[in-house]
Amino acid sequence: MSTVSLVVRNALWKKKKVDLLVARGRVASLIPSARKTRVEAAQELDASGLLLLPSLTDCHTHLREPGFEYKEDIASGLDAAAHGGFGNVLCMANTNPVNDNATVTERMLDRARAAWPHGPRLYPIGALSRGLKAEELAPMAELADAGCVAFSNDGLPVPRAEFFRRAMEYAWDQGKVVIDHCEEPSMARGAGMNEGAVSGRLGIPAQPDVAEAAQVARDILLADYLKIPIHLAHISCRRSVELIAWAKERGVQVTAETCPHYLTLTEERVEGYDSAAKVNPPLRTRDDVEAMLQALRSGVIDILATDHAPHAAHEKEVEFDLAPCGISGLDTALSVTWGLVEKKLLTLDDLVRAWSEAPCRVFGLPVNRFQAGDPADFLLFDPAAQWEVTPETMRSKGKNTPLLGTRLRGRVAAHFLGGKKVV
């Protein structure tokens, strides 16, 4: 026990008081606080009243660097991640230049290590196609060698099924999964919200939920036919969830994620032409929100992700049709989903599974289950802390969220990665 560097005492883990012992950046052991072990450690911390959680993994963020550093850069994005409870961040390839070659990947990784040497750790997602144009495959072997952990055309859905099939096959040769932004592009062109009574009344060009579900169906059938796994990004509606449930029953290797806003907000938030609520896929109906919650509880939806999409204020402060899609999510994600636990719509176990275990499993990252030898990536979460979402309380450069001005409960009190305190 002499190598123990850190002891966290009296934290709540699965409703029990525990002491966490950390040695050499890894979990040494987790023991009931009642045992009152005497351990010599360089550092000791009393975590009374705080929840112990494994550090979160966000498998879907947009960090905007290179190319759009005025929206966000890797340093500011990882800052928001660290404070939001995320220890691993998978970033999408729609940068400028696009992350479709090793030079871009390596530069991203260098920037991340320079800004946050102890983490949060950046895991780039490579482009599926060169320039995200869905015409030629990206050099996926080169990208995988450089450190890309998955491939995606996120932001620019792939219309041609044949091309998408080849991309899935080629990516799987590299041992990587493809993440698809499911959207049948011809049904969603120019759309700013969900198609329905609200869009009809407001006169906003809209996309129906079937634009998403049609592509979900295609991807499931391909995964089934090819016997290759597929990961479906930011699922937003009941129709998609029903297809995924069917696929899982059939044994298709499909995994899926959803985002905090699809569990909490509906299309009504667009009333008043609020561009902060403009996101792609769009906010759906109350029925869809209920379907998403149910799917997350039952495991049909495996993963929570932020789809963190920061934009500059002036880009959102325009006519609704012209505003870019996206919600800045790293700062608020954990508090918002904790709110669902408080309302008993999700359990704490759901949260840990969807924010930590499942993304690490799907993308092959080490996961902390608080067993000896696991990475000492954890956070102490203050469930009673209240905070107001304001431009000042958000770490991300992107202040674009429909939650501005609302009060949230629960906040990260401390965040450790590899046993080192980052927050």
Q: Write out the catalytic residue numbers.
A: 307
Nearer Cβ to Zn ion, position 71 or 415?
71
Binding residue for other proteins (CB under 8 A) from 204, 211, 230, 254?
A: 204
> Binding of other proteins at residue 206 (CB under 8 A)?
yes
Nearer to other proteins, 29 or 280 (CB): 280
273 binds, among Zn ion, other proteins, none (CB under 5 to 8 A by kind): other proteins
Applying CB under 8 A, which part among 116-124, 159-167, 203-211, 344-352 lies near other proteins? 203-211
DSSP-based three-state secondary structure for 107: helix
Query: Secondary structure of the chain: what % helix, strand, coil (to 5)?
Result: 35, 25, 40
Please report whether residue 154 would count as binding Zn ion according to CB under 5 A: yes
Contacted by 181, from Zn ion, other proteins, none: CB < 5 to 8 Å by type: Zn ion
Minimum gap (Å) between residue 184 Cβ and other proteins: 15
Q: Which one among 34, 201, 344, 392 touches other proteins, defined by CB under 8 A?
A: 201
DSSP code, position 132: G
Phi/psi zone of residue 344: left (φ > 0), alpha (ψ -120 to 50 degrees), beta? left
**Which residue shows structure tokens 């002499």?**
2
Contact criterion met (CB below 8 Å) for 360 and 41: no
User: Interface residues for Zn ion in 174-193 (CB under 5 A)?
Assistant: 181
Q: Are 39 and 7 in contact (CB under 8 A)?
A: yes
Q: Which tokens sit at 12?
A: 């709540």
Confirm or reject binding of residue 196 to other proteins (CB under 8 A): yes
Residue 276 interacts with other proteins (CB under 8 A): yes or no: no
The site partner of 154 among other proteins, Zn ion, none (C-beta below 5 to 8 Å per kind) is: Zn ion
Contacts of 390 (CB under 8 A, 6+ apart): 404, 405
Report CA torsion sign: 61, 82, 302, 141. Answer: positive
Per CB under 5 A, which region of 117-125, 152-160, 380-388, 408-416 contacts Zn ion?
152-160
| Dist CA 96 CA 145 (whole Å) | 21
CB 102 within 8 A of CB 374: no
Exactly one of 1, 114, 161, 318 binds other proteins (CB under 8 A); which one? Answer: 318
Q: How many other CB atoms sit within 10 Å of the CB of residue 314? A: 8
Is residue 259 a contact residue for other proteins (CB under 8 A)?
Answer: no
Angle, CA of 282, 229 and 208, to the nearest 5°: 20
203 is a site residue for other proteins (CB under 8 A) = yes
- Residue 197 makes contact with other proteins by CB under 8 A: yes
At position 279, the amino acid (one-letter code) is V
100 touches Zn ion by CB under 5 A: no
- Which span (45-53, 153-161, 212-220, 325-333) binds Zn ion, by CB under 5 A? 153-161
Binding partner selected for residue 127 from Zn ion, other proteins, none, CB under the kind-specific 5 to 8 Å limit:
none
* Identified binder of other proteins from the candidate list 123, 320, 355, 416, rule CB under 8 A: 320
Residue 375 binds other proteins (CB under 8 A): no
Question: Closest Cα partner for 13 from 55, 52, 66?
Answer: 52
Cα(257)–Cα(104) distance, rounded to whole angstroms? 26
**What are the residues binding other proteins (CB under 8 A)?**
195-204, 206, 208, 272-273, 314, 317-322
